[in-house]
Amino acid sequence: MALVGPSGAGKSTLLGLVNGSVPPTAGSVQVFGADPTALRGRAQRELRARVGTVHQHLELVGQLRVVHNVNAGRLSSWPAWRAAWSLVRPQGVAEVLAALEQVGLADRVFERTERLSGGQRQRVALARLLVQQPELVLADEPASALDPVLAERALTLLAGLAADRGGALVASLHDPALALRHCTRVVGLVEGRVVLDAPAAALTVGDLADFYGAPR
Amino acid sequence: MTAVLDRPQAPPRLQRVRTRWAWGLGALAVLGWSLAGAGAFTGDVVNPAGTGQFGRFASAALSPALDGAFLRVLADSVLVTVAYAALGAALAVLLGAVGAVAVARTTWGRRRLGWTLSRGALAVPRGLHEAVWGLLLVNLLGLDPWVGVLAIGVPYGAVTAKVFADLLDEVPRGGHSALLAGGVGRVPAALYGLLPPASGGLLSYSFYRLECAVRSAVVLGLIGAGGLGYQLLLSFSSLRWEQVWSCVYALALLCLLADVGGRAVRRRVAAPRSSGDRLRRDPALTTAVLGTLAAVVWSWWYLAISPATLVADRTGEQLRYVLAAAWPPDVDGSLLSAVAAAAVDTVQMSVIAIAVATAGAVVLAGLAARPARASAGRRLAGTVVRLALLLLRAVPPPVWALVLLFVLLPGILPGALALGVYTLGVLGRLAAEATEELDPRPRAALTALGAGPVAGWLYGVLPAATGPVLAFALYRWEVAIRDTVLVGLLGAGGLGALLASAVAAFDWGAVTTVLVALVLLTAAVDLVSARARAALR
């Protein structure tokens, strides 16, 4: 599913509501049949582990090596001592390498993340998601720092990742063509309200372009 | 051809950064050596006989002296302390602003020699503690209010110049370089490209200096300049614990006011109110700046300071006499070996102090930081920790040393622990602020994918906080080496004790020797600290 709409329409807020990082001011949210803000402790963490997010500003820890930032995708299932030990002696390097291989970054696995370029960091964020193996994938502008070829690959990867586990991909996108190519359903937001909800097949690039350009 | 391409690549190897490991191991070795020197592993350090007195002291915390006569005395000493602090800090900021331009790397550019020399010139005033300045100035000016003001203003001015220059040098260069590349002159480029990003840091550091000046004014009281510190010492030496606690609470309240004021100003600078399309000044910021200026003027009047003292004939005569007696320095063999032994004690004290403070700060920083969203219980715990830290840094280290001497035998350890406890108060606050200023989003992202609180802290906070906290710890080590002298002046050993006895004997040649040793030692510590911080980056 693609989320489209002008800046400030509430796309990121909507994604935040779903992964539980933004508490709703009114109403409630159901994710996999549960309210993410109502759960506590272990149950909340288990629910959150099933939802993977690629954030707009990536939210990686620059001071950590790439391997740790990718391993962070598994923190929900690791006990605290293992998380701590991994910082000293990286754990599960094989899986991390496999994930980085998929995004073409395997040679940078022990690099400090802040030394990578914007596009490379974006791919680290994707690798974190691959390791997390969520059922629902939320992506906030996952293609914004990538060139067209990489953007194409990233979205294919995200859609495939969600499909593997029988789940869905919800992505906010700025590129109408990309949205129509990779998503089956398009939802348009303006000022926090849904103003469009249609199958991608029924829309053209021109229909969507109106959403970004039109001042209201 | 394909055979070559298909050969499996060797997987990348994890490489440790050697320099950091070397620094880490070196630090541990030095700490072990210091602890051994302080007798922590061998001799008796605890004095069981003093626990009764300590109990009486501690229980007086709940019943501070509140009778009218004492409160009037207390109010008077508070005003004197505030006046010294305000004038001293004002002088320091003034000197610092001028000095910063003279020592900033931005000013010198690639001319390294000039930069190094100007930095070196700062090391002398910075290397001597306020109390040492006080001790020397008393001998020049007699009992004059200028002693307190200059004793704070001169060393603080040097530190402020260094920090201001660092703040300016650490501003991201992008905007400034773009202006220079666009043909803008050096001064306007600095005004538009360097000062705005640095201004928050400069203003908040100025208010931080004011807060420090309050404590220094107290310390100067301990060596006789009057005010709250003097009162505290009087009450302490007459064993009136209730009065001691009243002084401590008054001090803590003063520090709290400075703390809260400084924080409010900093917040305002960091997140200015949106003023839309009208040019408006922030009323709170304007009040703070004008209020501080008014306090400076009032202090001038209240302390009845007159510039005449500085230019009086007697001052000049005394200066000439002391300088003549102080040169050449005494290089007698027995004095030199005493200086060397005292220098080792001083280093060991400062190392133990900073280790205690850093360990405590790391544990407490998370609790002391104000999170964006928190439960009521978490908020309460945070307030209690912050108040405790405030109390730790409100009480000057020599007073902590006196308190610790109830339960510890005299030696390096009480001095070191006193300094450690005090530094913990400062470092805990700095570490908490560093934690608050971290980008909260990586941690939030980890929480959103289901990481637990410990794992979230380890991956989202620790890596980002380690650098700034260790940098603060190293910076505080530079401060601690100066403060050990203060603790020493009041009897805990090290170079401070040596200096106090030389001044008391008017042995100016020996005073020069000890001062030179002090400046060299602090300069060496600064150098090591700077190298370590560079390795951390």
**Does a structural domain hold residue A67?**
yes
User: Which of A48, A75, A78, A135 to mutate to probe the B interface, most B CBs <10 Å?
Assistant: A75
Q: Pairing state of beta strands A136-140 and A169-172? A: parallel
Asked if residue A10 is part of any domain, the answer here is: yes
Scanning A74-133 for CB atoms below 8 A from B yields: 75-76, 78, 80, 83-84, 87, 90, 93, 97, 106-110, 132
| Vertex B457: Cα angle to B455 and B461 (nearest 5) | 135
The model's confidence at residue B5, banded by pLDDT at 50, 70 and 90, is very low
Partner-chain contact A87 B446, CB within 8 Å: no
pLDDT, residue A211, reads 66
Q: Residue B494 and residue B418: Cα distance in Å, rounded?
A: 14
What are B207's two structure tokens?
A: 């208010």
A185-190 and A193-199 as β-strands: parallel, antiparallel, unpaired? antiparallel
Tokens (6 digits) for A47: 């629910």
Alpha-carbon gap, residue A19 to A35, rounded angstroms: 10
Give the pLDDT confidence score for residue B278 in this predicted structure. 62
Q: Give yes or no: residues A138 and A121 share one domain.
A: no
Same domain as A140, residue A84:
no
The reply to whether residue A109 touches residue B447, judged by beta carbons under 8 angstroms, is: no
Residue A215 falls within a domain, yes or no? yes
Contacts of B456 in chain A (CB under 8 A): 75
The verdict on A164 and A204 lying in the same domain is: yes
**Sheet with A136-140: strands ordered across:** A51-54, A136-140, A169-172, A2-4, A185-190, A193-199
* Residue position matching structure tokens 């032994």: B341
- Other beta carbons within 10 angstroms of residue A115's beta carbon come to 12
Q: What is the dihedral of CA B462, B467, B469, B472, to 10 degrees?
A: 180
- Numbers of helices and strands, H then E, in chain B: 25, 0
Q: Are B73 and B240 in contact (CB under 8 A)?
A: no
Of B167, B245, B171, B163, whose CA–CA distance to B212 is shortest? B163
Which residues on chain A are in Cβ contact (under 8 Å) with B441? 55, 57, 59
The answer on A141 and A213 residing in a single domain is yes
Span A170-184, mean pLDDT?
83
List, for residues B465-486, the tens digit of each pLDDT value: 888 888 888 888 888 888 888 8
A35 and A111 housed in the same domain = no
Q: Are residues B312 and B436 in the same domain?
A: no
In the structure encoding, which two tokens stand for residue B126, read together? 């910075």
How many independent structural domains does chain A possess?
Answer: 2
Q: What Cα–Cα distance (Å) separates residue B434 from each residue in B107, B353, B493, B519? A: 28, 21, 34, 30
Q: Is residue B298 part of a domain?
A: yes
- CB environment A124-163: b (16+ within 10 A), e (fewer): bbbbbbbbbbbbbbbbbbbbbbbeeebbebbbebbbebbe
Better-predicted residue by pLDDT, B240 or A216:
B240
CA–CA separation, A144 vs B54, rounded Å?
65
- Residue A47 contacts B where some CB pair is shorter than 8 Å: yes
Q: Establish if A167 belongs to a structural domain.
A: yes
Residue B111 lies in a domain: yes
With cut-offs at 50, 70 and 90, classify the pLDDT of residue B3. very low
> Which of A132-146, B9-23, B326-340, B518-532 bottoms out in mean pLDDT, i.e. has the lowest?
B9-23
Both B352 and B413 in one domain: the answer is yes
- The verdict on A135 touching B (C-beta cutoff 8 Å) is no
Q: What is the mean pLDDT of residues B490-502?
A: 82
CATH of the domain at B157: 1.10.3720.10
Residue A103's CB is within 10 A of a number of other CB atoms, namely 21
Average pLDDT, chain B: 82
CA atoms within 13 A on the CB side of B212: 26
What residue has token string 């807020």?
A13
Classified as helix, coil or strand, A194 is strand
Per the domain annotation, does B12 fall within a domain? Answer: no
- Domain of A199: which CATH number? 3.40.50.300
In this predicted structure, the answer to whether residue A73 has a pLDDT above a threshold of 50 is yes
- My answer on whether A144 and A185 are in the same domain is yes
Question: CA-CA distances (angstroms) from residue B157 to B164, B181, B377, B476?
Answer: 10, 33, 42, 17
Confirm or reject contact between A142 and chain B (CB < 8 A): no
Is residue B221 located within the same domain as residue B311?
yes
In angstroms, the Cα distances linking B144 to B148, B312, B321, B518 are 8, 12, 19, 26
Does residue B397 have a cis bond before it (omega within 30 degrees)?
no
- Regarding whether B474 and B434 lie in a shared domain, the answer is yes
DSSP secondary-structure letter at A73?
G
Report the C-alpha gap between A161 and A139 in whole angstroms.
Answer: 12
Question: Under the phi-then-psi rule, with left for phi > 0, alpha for psi from -120 to 50, and beta for the rest, what region is B370?
Answer: beta
Query: Do residue A48 and residue B12 have CB atoms under 8 angstroms apart?
Result: no
Of B80 and B488, the one with more pLDDT: B80
B255: nearest Cα among B67, B436, B433, B425 = B425
Question: Is A207 inside a domain boundary?
Answer: yes
- Residues B299 and B375 grouped into a single domain: no
With a cut of 0.85, is the ipTM above it?
A: no
Of A133, A149, A171, which residue constitutes the final position of a domain? A133
| Domain identity same for A98 and A168 | no
> B329-333: long-range contacts at Cβ-Cβ below 8 A with a sequence spacing of 24 or more?
B329/B509, B329/B510, B329/B512, B329/B513, B329/B516, B330/B507, B330/B509, B330/B510, B330/B512, B330/B513, B331/B513
Segment A74-88 shows an average pLDDT of 83
What percent of chain B clears pLDDT 70, i.e. is strictly above it? Answer: 93
| pLDDT beyond 70 at B279 | no
Predicted pLDDT at B117: 82
The CA distance from B447 to the nearest CA of chain A, in Å, is 8
One domain, residues B314 and B357:
no
Tell me, what's the pLDDT at B2?
Answer: 42
For residue B444, which residues of chain A lie inside 8 Å, CB to CB? Answer: 21, 59
Task: Tell me how far apart the alpha carbons of residues A212 and A11 are, in angstroms, rounded to a whole number.
Answer: 13
The beta-strand segments (E) located in chain A are 2-4, 51-54, 136-140, 169-172, 185-190, 193-199
Which residues from chain B sit within 8 angstroms of residue A51, using beta carbons? 448-449
* Nearest partner of B482 among B131, B82, B86, B223, judged by Cα: B131
Domain-ending residue, one of B293, B308, B327: B327
Q: What is the pLDDT of residue B356?
A: 92
Domain presence at residue A37: yes
Q: Which two tokens stand for residue B35?
A: 């602890």
Same domain, B415 and B489: yes
Q: Rounded to whole angstroms, how far apart are CA atoms B485 and B507? A: 18
Q: Identify whether residues A128 and A139 lie together within a single domain.
A: no
Report the range out of B177-181, B248-252, B275-279 with the highest average pLDDT. Answer: B248-252
Check pLDDT > 50 for residue A39: yes
Measure the CA–CA gap between B338 and B344, rounded to whole angstroms: 10
Provide the angle, in degrees to the nearest 10, between the axes of the packed helices B313-326 and B130-141. 120
For residues B363 and B296, membership in a common domain is answered with no
Substitution target in B14, B15, B21, B459 with the highest count of A β-carbons within 10 Å is: B459
pLDDT of A210 > 90? The answer is no
Domain that holds residue A184: 1-50+134-216
CA atoms B223, B229, B230, B234: torsion sign: negative
What stretch of H or E contains A135?
none
Q: Give the highest mean pLDDT range of B28-42, B344-358, B403-417.
A: B344-358
Handedness of CA B421, B422, B428, B431 (dihedral sign): negative
Query: What's the confidence (pLDDT) of residue B7?
Result: 46
- Residue B123, pLDDT above cutoff 80: no
Confidence of residue B95 (pLDDT cuts 50, 70, 90): very high
Q: What is the mean pLDDT of residues B184-200?
A: 78
pLDDT at A103: 83
Residue B46 lies in a domain: no
Q: Taking residues A37-44, what's their average pLDDT?
A: 77
A57 touches chain B (CB under 8 A): yes
Mean pLDDT of B197-203: 78
Q: How far is A97 from chain B (nearest CA, A)?
A: 9
Paired residues of B275 in beta bridges: none
Q: Do A110 and B458 touch (CB under 8 A)?
A: no
For residue B92, is pLDDT > 90? yes
The reply to whether A195 falls in a domain is yes
Q: Which residue has the tokens 């974190």?
A: A128
Q: Which two tokens stand for residue A157?
A: 């990867």
pLDDT of amino acid B391: 83
Q: Considering its fold, how many domains does chain B have in total?
A: 2
Say whether both B444 and B466 belong to one domain. yes
Share of chain B above pLDDT 90, in %: 8
Say whether both B341 and B314 belong to one domain: no
3-state helix/strand/coil string of B204-272? HHHHHHHHHHHHHHHHHHHHHHCCHHHHHHHHHHCCCHHHHHHHHHHHHHHHHHHHHHHHHHHHHHHCC
* Domain final residue pick, A102, A133, A164: A133
How far A109 CA lies from chain B's nearest CA (Å)?
7
Tell me the two tokens of residue A58. 């990536």
A55 domain residue, yes or no: no
Separation of alpha carbons A196 and B536, rounded Å: 52
Residue at B45 is within a domain: no
The distance of A206 to chain B (nearest Cα, Å) reads 34
- Residues of chain B positioned with their CB less than 8 A from the CB of A47: 450
Helix (H) or strand (E) holding A111, with range, is none
B35 inside domain: no
Measuring CA to CA, how many Å separate A193 from each of A26, A187, B54?
Answer: 14, 10, 67
| Residue B402 shares a structural domain with residue B298 | no
Identify all chain B residues contacting A72, using CB atoms and an 8 Å cutoff: 446, 449, 451, 459
Domain boundary among A118, A133, A148: A133
Q: Tell me what pLDDT residue B43 has.
A: 67
Domain of residue B491: give its range: 334-537
Which chain A residue shows the shortest CA-CA distance from B467?
A63
Whether residues A141 and A205 share a domain: the answer is yes
